[in-house]
Amino acid sequence: MNNFKISGFALAGAVFFLASTANAHHSFATHYDTTNVVEISGVLSEVKMRSPHSFFGVDVVTEDGTIETWAVEAHAVPILRRLGITKDTLKVGDTVTIRGPRSRRPEKLLLFGAEINTADGKRFEMLDSIRKAPDYAISDTREGITGIDRLTGKWMTFITGQKVSDSPMPLNDAGRQARENFDPLINPASECVPSNLPSLLMIPYVYEIKRDGNDIEIFHEYATLHRPFTLGSNVPNVTDPSFGRRVGRYEDDTLIIESDGFPALSAGLASGWEPNGNGADIPSSAQKELIERYTVNEDGSVLTLEYTVTDPAYLTEPYTAKVIWHRMPFDSPIYEFTCDADIALRSTQNAAVLND
């Protein structure tokens, strides 16, 4: 019989600080303890490459000869594909060694697969997909491209870290109370409700800007979302009422999108996985408004968004922040994202209530 193992050890804190937003749909901080990193070796007994998360089962032989089946959570299909992981890369029966932080729920044999090693020597570093990679910092070499067309193309943002702490948003009493009452086990993500704005703007998936005359489309690989509008039109576009109604214009080398008419949402201002939520969802009201301002740098390699969100029901004043994207090659593939409701619920059920 092969010698499989499980061991516990500590990795560099900086590495897993970055891992704290590895799950761009559920809050990593409520699921996994980055101070308790383990390594398991065994045979894959389950392979489910899904979105919003993937799950693997690993049969591990313990020191007394019994078999324990560990669950390993990993990224959604588009992120795995971008790392080079397909259905043929990891198959039931394959031997693997996986490292990552263990579940905050000690009764569960569960970890996040931050590093996956195969028997044939392949190593997949899951954080590569959400950190800035040099090959994404490419310049726009298209000749004769000027004005708003300099913003068109495919972009990727990278997460710099999130932890369980206060939100940077200027919450009023209602906002603070709503955040304190957050229950990670009652989560819109478990019902495949995608992150809303501005959280949607921070997800490390392909973000594409397309132009056809005065018609602009913002496409999000995550959840396959489209946000079209017509430049200079006073008639708002409402493709999906969940994401408001929007108008847009281009002035002073800046693409400006103004949105209102959002419904009240339980995670409408912030999601627990991103820096505005920092471990807890923050709701929004029907009074929410959002302004997005996009500019591109001189060589066309970096897209900067400055956004301002207003919601007097939960914020004392408007909140402004920035998101940076790096240009991707124009032929970069876009992968299908279809939320699997069973997988989404499975991930949510793994969360721990941190203030218990």
Do 96 and 149 reside in the same domain of the chain?
no
Q: Which of 94, 129, 164 is the last residue of a domain?
A: 129
How does the average pLDDT of the chain come out, rounded? 89
d(CA 300, CA 150) in angstroms, rounded, equals: 7
Asked if 258 and 285 sit in the same domain, the reply is yes
User: Which of 274, 305, 328 has the alpha carbon at shortest distance from 156?
Assistant: 328
pLDDT tens column, 65-94:
999 999 999 999 999 999 999 999 999 999
Residues 6+ apart with CB under 8 A from 121: none
The answer to whether 174 and 164 are in contact (CB under 8 A) is no
Domain C-terminal end among 114, 129, 144: 129
Confidence of residue 130 (pLDDT cuts 50, 70, 90): low
Say whether both 322 and 210 belong to one domain. yes
pLDDT 10s digits, 218-264: 999 999 999 999 999 999 999 999 999 999 999 999 999 999 999 99
Query: 278-318: per-residue pLDDT in tens?
Result: 889 999 999 999 999 999 999 999 999 999 999 999 999 99
pTM of the model: 0.89
Query: Do residue 106 and residue 145 come from a single domain?
Result: no
For residues 185-196, average pLDDT: 89
pLDDT value at residue 4 = 41
Band the pLDDT of 25: cuts 50, 70, 90.
low
Q: Domain count of the chain? A: 2
Residue 195 clears pLDDT 70, i.e. is over it: yes
Is position 68 within any domain? yes
Cis peptide before 106 (omega within 30 of 0): no
> To which H or E segment does residue 116 belong?
strand 115-118
- The answer as to whether 30 is a domain residue is yes
Q: Which two tokens stand for residue 1?
A: 């019989």
Burial of 294 from C-beta contacts in 10 A (0-12 / 13-18 / 19+)? buried
Q: What is the C-alpha separation between 263 and 242, in angstroms, rounded?
A: 6
Does residue 148 have a pLDDT over 80? yes
- Structural domain contains residue 355: no
Pair 71, 110: CB distance under 8 Å: yes
- CATH code of 303's domain: 2.40.128.20
Closest CA to 25 of 220, 163, 223, 207: 223
Buried b (16+ CB within 10 A) or exposed e, 154-171: bbbbbbeebebeebebeb
pLDDT exceeds 70 at position 120: yes
Instruction: For residues 42 and 144, state if they share a domain.
Output: no
List strand residue ranges (DSSP E) for 50-114, in order. Answer: 54-61, 67-74, 95-103, 110-112
- With respect to residue 94, please indicate whether it lies within any of the assigned structural domains: yes
Cβ–Cβ < 8 Å for 269, 314: yes
Three-state SS at 233: coil
3-state secondary structure of 200: helix
- What average pLDDT does this structure show over 184-207? 92
- In a domain, residue 177? The reply is yes
Domain that holds residue 265: 135-348
Once rounded to an integer, what is the mean pLDDT over residues 113-125?
Answer: 96
* CATH code of 48's domain: 2.40.50.140
**Does residue 279 contact residue 27 with C-beta atoms inside 8 Å?**
yes
CB 32 within 8 A of CB 193: no
What span, in angstroms and rounded, lies between the C-alpha atoms of 113 and 95?
A: 15
Shared-domain flag, residues 222 and 188: yes
User: 116 with 240, same domain?
Assistant: no
Residues 247 and 233: beta-carbon distance below 8 Å: yes
Does one domain contain both 139 and 88?
no
pLDDT digits (tens, 9 = 90+) for 224-233: 999 999 999 9
**Of 12-21, 161-170, 202-211, 264-273, where does mean pLDDT reach its minimum?**
12-21
Tell whether the model's pLDDT for residue 8 goes beyond 50.
Answer: no
Claim to verify: residue 149 and residue 123 sit in the same structural domain = no
In contact, 293 and 250? CB cutoff 8 Å: no
- Identify the pLDDT of residue 243: 98
Better-scored residue on pLDDT, 339 or 273: 339
Determine, yes or no, domain membership for 356: no
Question: CA end-to-end span of the chain, whole Å?
Answer: 42
Tell me: do 116 and 207 sit in the same domain: no
Q: Is the same domain home to 102 and 156?
A: no
Boundary of a domain, candidates 108, 129, 150: 129
Residues 158, 235, single domain; the answer is yes
